[in-house]
Chains A and B, each alone.
Chain A
Amino acid sequence: MKNKHKILVNWVGYITVLSLLISCKHHEDEYHSITDKIEAKSKSFHATSTTSELHTKHLNTIKITEGEHTFLIPERTGEITSFACTECHSSPLKEMKGTASKKAHWNIKLQHADEHTMNCISCHNGDNMDQLQSITGTPINFNKSYQLCSQCHSKQFTDWKGGAHGKQVKSWAPPRTALTCVNCHNPHKPHFESKWPVRYNTQKIKERE
């Protein structure tokens, strides 16, 4: 009887030691996958002290809210050489046609969709050159030109709002500043040209030898 008791005590001892060893494997920092880890750790997420402000303070931005997303985009009108347009476009386009006024915008050739789909007035308002206009004629501010693009490119628009299309400026930290469509794409010629790479890959085999 006494012997049995001893064995029992021994077993309890073994099991305690074993479970201690095993429990070491299940540290609270351990997750089965990165998805579990992200999910678990972001439950108690607190905003970080790191912000983007230090890196973006020299930028002139405006705040926009589109759906559930609110973020900053670069201010545009200040970037356009010779804004406001009405400084030259003092009368409606129709009246300026054929007059002896100086030729302007000679370098702009529209290469965007085809002529069935787009011409100048698909985006510009001939009666008020300081504003853009949507397909239905509602005015759109030059600062929010993305609203024009989103009329057709709705998939890209969704991705851009979320952050999968376009570029976040300077910093990964909040608040987020994103480049807007026209910061990368020329609206009159949105396609990217092919070009030579800025440098070449090293010979992989050579390096690994």
Chain B
Amino acid sequence: MSNTTKKWFSLNLGSRKENASSSSCSCGKKEGDCHSADTSPQQKDGFDQVFDVPMDRRTAFKKLTASLLIGAGAVSTSCSLVSGNESKEKAQIDWEEQFKGNYKLMSEEEKKATVERLARSYELRTGKTINLSSQGPEENVLFGYAFNISKCQGYMDCVNACVEENNQDRNSQMQYIRIHEMKDGKGFNFNEADDNYYHEVPAEGHFYMGTQCFHCDNPPCTKVCPVQATWQEEDGLVVIDYDWCVGCRYCMAACPYDGRRFNWSQPEVPEAEINKNQHYLGNRLRKKGVMEKCTFCVQRSRAGKNPACVEACPTGARIFGNLLDPNSTIRWVLENKKVFRLKEDLGTEPKFWYFMD
């Protein structure tokens, strides 16, 4: 199998020599697409990727068994004269989705195709349309965030906005952002911080600080993923392909900042509350057993908007912008305020700075 058509990562345990070249990207290049540069123009999509390649019998059997249900559904509906065109289309979509590759390795056309399939599938299932984007990173953009500890009052407007924007599960009350209430004069003592405060804020003698995924520039979470379902994009966003994640939670264990959240059950959002402006790597509806986290609202930030938390904060404690733009406000903060990051000695290089007035 040549590397140019390979659409997934496999473990190289040394038994197969020809894989050596592909694993040489342990060179440590941190940002996405280590292979995209040399992909050939005629790429295969959907199940062609799987079936149009030589593979041994065992793998073939495994893949077939895994797809049996979908396959059976597709066959029965496509052969039946009774079932309508819609269910045939649905089966076709499920079939192609089942065999698609890792988003990180897809060409632009493939990304578009999967996004279209998913949007169409949603329409077929619910009768409602969503706007699902596959917009990629822009050159000369590196997103960064600053948080003013003196300003945050613990109002939690950011968390509210985040949950609504990102279609987080309402039952388990998943939240990407945590606001920690800390006692003045004790420094950042996370062990003694109150994360579940229930009183008027700000409380006398306390300060508040928020944590979320810091979009580290040297993220430990992406390195431990056995299937490379999570990676850093060129604009600095650390993202997850929910369809490629196998839910092993290694990344959650590797994150030193409690940045990741896991779906223990099928996430549910009431239809009326679903944010239909979605991104493949962002707030599209997730499934049970996959990892998710803050994406700096990729569906908003790549469109030029501020993340929902930044917009919702009534105190202006949250500052977001392009780290590469010398005239951006985030750059002014980094250059003129005393900024620091959490656990800097780990070398994770979070792109999330704290400062005080």
Binding site of A, secondary structure by majority: helix, strand, loop or mixed?
A: loop
> A48 contacts which of B157, B305, B322, B332 (Cβ < 8 Å)?
B322
Stretch at the interface among B77-85, B86-94, B312-320: B312-320
Q: By the criterion of a CB under 8 Å from any partner CB, how many residues of chain A are at the interface?
A: 52
Stretch at the interface among A49-57, A111-119, A126-134: A49-57
Given contacts A38-B142, A48-B325, A197-B155, contact A54 B172 (CB under 8 A): no
* B148 at the A interface (CB under 8 A): yes
Closest to A70 in B: B327
- B28, A202: Cβ atoms closer than 8 Å: no
How many residue pairs link A and B with beta carbons under 8 A? The number is: 165
* A106 at the B interface (CB under 8 A): no
- A195, B29: Cβ atoms closer than 8 Å: no
- Complex interface: chain B residues within 8 A of A200 (CB): 156, 196-198
Nearest CB of chain A from residue B213's CB, rounded to whole Å = 15
- A37, B198: Cβ atoms closer than 8 Å: no
- Complex interface: chain A residues within 8 A of B110 (CB): none
Q: Which of A42, A55, A192: most chain B CB closer than 10 A?
A: A42
> B324 contacts which of A38, A164, A195, A199 (Cβ < 8 Å)?
A38
- A194, B202: Cβ atoms closer than 8 Å: yes
- A34, B217: Cβ atoms closer than 8 Å: yes
The docked-state distance in angstroms from the alpha carbon of A20 to that of B341 is 35
The docked-state distance in angstroms from the alpha carbon of A47 to that of B325 is 8
* B159 at the A interface (CB under 8 A): yes
The docked-state distance in angstroms from the alpha carbon of A150 to that of B97 is 58
In the complex, chain A residues 19-62 whose Cβ is within 8 Å of any chain B Cβ: 24-25, 27, 29-30, 33-34, 37-38, 41-42, 45-52, 54-55
- Complex interface: chain B residues within 8 A of A163 (CB): 319, 328-330, 332-333
The docked-state distance in angstroms from the alpha carbon of A196 to that of B321 is 30
Q: By the criterion of a CB under 8 Å from any partner CB, how many residues of chain B are at the interface?
A: 69
Given contacts A25-B27, A165-B357, contact A48 B140 (CB under 8 A): yes
Nearest CB of chain A from residue B37's CB, rounded to whole Å = 12
Closest to A50 in B: B304
The docked-state distance in angstroms from the alpha carbon of A172 to that of B179 is 23
The docked-state distance in angstroms from the alpha carbon of A48 to that of B148 is 26
The docked-state distance in angstroms from the alpha carbon of A51 to that of B141 is 12
Q: Name the 10 nearest CB pairs between A and B, nearest first.
A: A163-B329, A162-B332, A24-B27, A197-B156, A167-B316, A202-B173, A50-B304, A34-B349, A172-B321, A42-B324
28 A-B pairs (CB sep. < 8 Å):
A24-B27, A27-B28, A30-B29, A41-B142, A41-B324, A42-B324, A47-B325, A48-B138, A50-B141, A50-B304, A54-B304, A55-B304, A163-B330, A164-B332, A164-B357, A171-B304, A172-B304, A174-B327, A176-B329, A184-B316, A194-B200, A197-B155, A197-B197, A197-B201, A201-B175, A204-B178, A204-B195, A204-B196
- B contact residues vs A (CB 8 Å cutoff): 24, 27-31, 138-143, 146, 148, 153-157, 159-160, 172-175, 178-179, 195-202, 217, 261, 301-306, 310-311, 313-316, 319-330, 332-333, 336-337, 349, 351, 355, 357
